[in-house]
Amino acid sequence: MSRRVAVPFPPRRIVSLVPSQTELLFDLGLGDKVVGVTKFCIHPAEARTNATVIGGTKNFDFEKIAALKPEVIIGNKEENYQAGIEQLAANYPVWLSDISSLPEALDMIRRVGLITGAKEKADALASEIAASFAALETAPTTATKVPVSAAYFIWRKPYMVAASGTFIDGMLHRAGFRNVFADQTRYLEINADQLAAAAPQRILLSSEPYPFGEKHVAEFQAICPNAKIEIVDGELFSWYGSRLRKSAAYFSQLR
């Protein structure tokens, strides 16, 4: 993000403001240095018991963060909120990622490893993830087929889909899908008529942030009778940290 951030090396007290980056820190062997996480940092299971919960991704408890005396705070431009980040940055080193593609996610993994003293583990992890996606792209199940048109829903009431310029859109492409809302940007609110007009072959209902379940399938089937509708693992489409190790294999199964 073109911000210069001076961080003590290696940092011994880390606050993570993003669930996928929290999981990454633990997978890099830095769990004992993570002193603060959000209430949404559900992976690994011990993250919220070993560290102090400092609020959500968009509402920080500044007093709790101050008590932790962080040497670096790690966040993300999209998942966190500007006013909160600016308030924290006035007092602490705040390192922000800005991710909308797989290459940017791999770059983030390497940079987090570099600033936390876990460079070798981070480089190995990024290489492993890159190799898994390279294999996916050349596999006969994806390389020789025409992309299937799809709509990816993240919310209900109102309906919201992931459009272009999002990490999810990049993952859809790598999974072998063509996003029917790729002519729009970011996260788009749509209605039933717009969905019917787009006529996707597949409708993917994400398990997060809205908890879509089987009870919602009939609702979408009524709008698009010819579409195949399924619940998908939202973490494997939208978490851009170490969970990406599982994404390519999952996409292969979906395709």
SS3 assignment, position 167? helix
Rounded Cα distance between 22 and 187, Å, is: 24
Task: Please tell me the predicted confidence (pLDDT) of residue 57.
Answer: 97
| Under-50 pLDDT residues of the chain | none
Task: Please tell me the predicted confidence (pLDDT) of residue 142.
Answer: 55
Tokens of 98: 């800005």
Single out the residue of 77, 16, 72 nearest to residue 47, CA to CA. 16
Task: Please tell me the predicted confidence (pLDDT) of residue 91.
Answer: 96
Alpha helices in 28-174 (DSSP H): 47-50, 62-68, 82-89, 102-116, 119-138, 140-143, 167-174
Contact assessment for residue 128 and residue 182, using Cβ atoms and an 8 Å cutoff: no
Task: Please tell me the predicted confidence (pLDDT) of residue 127.
Answer: 98
Does the reported pTM lie above 0.85?
yes
Rounded Cα distance between 122 and 97, Å, is: 15
In the chain the domains, ranked by start, together with CATH numbers, are 14-98 (3.40.50.1980), 140-254 (3.40.50.1980)
Q: Where are the beta strands (DSSP E) in 125-245?
A: 148-155, 159-162, 177-179, 187-190, 202-206, 228-232
Task: Please tell me the predicted confidence (pLDDT) of residue 139.
Answer: 76
SS3 assignment, position 49? helix
Single out the residue of 139, 205, 203, 210 nearest to residue 174, CA to CA. 139
Task: Please tell me the predicted confidence (pLDDT) of residue 36.
Answer: 98
SS3 assignment, position 246? helix
Contacts of 219 (CB under 8 A, 6+ apart): none
H/E run at residue 37:
strand 34-37
